[in-house]
Copies of this chain bind each other. A is one copy, B any other.
């Protein structure tokens, strides 16, 4: 999985709270970092996800995947490269690559699939103004 040119990269300082008894970041926290990556990707494109929710729409996660290649530890700064792919009628995919800031080696990489839904959990067509930011 190559990081696309259109990726937006967000930096996160690893919190002590995010580590576990093994002395490394607990595996579920990478999905939290992916969420931060998504939020910042959208913001960088000019879209505040809070505005999406204000219109009664939600980007529900329907699938998540992560491959763990090397551990991250407390105090390190990691970079979450984030980019969208496979933007369909009412769903889209985000891809992620986690590295240590300033290093090439991949610590983890993964993707999430989202469906745009309304408050009653019904799928909705992705509005054009959102679609434009993603393609």
**Chain A contact residues: helix, strand, loop or mixed:** mixed
A67 to B48 alpha-carbon distance, docked (Å): 26
Asked if A60 is at the interface of the complex by the 8 Å CB criterion, the answer is: yes
Shortest beta-carbon distance from A77 to chain B in Å: 11
Of A1-9, A22-30, A123-131, the one contacting chain B is: A22-30
Check: A75 CB closer than 8 A to any chain B CB: yes
Chain A residues 5 to 37 lying within 8 A of chain B, measured CB to CB, are 13, 15-17, 19-24, 26-29, 31-32, 35-36
| CB-contact partner of A66 in B32, B63, B67, B68, under 8 A | B63
Among candidates B22, B27, B48, B75, residue contacting A48 with C-beta atoms closer than 8 Å: B75
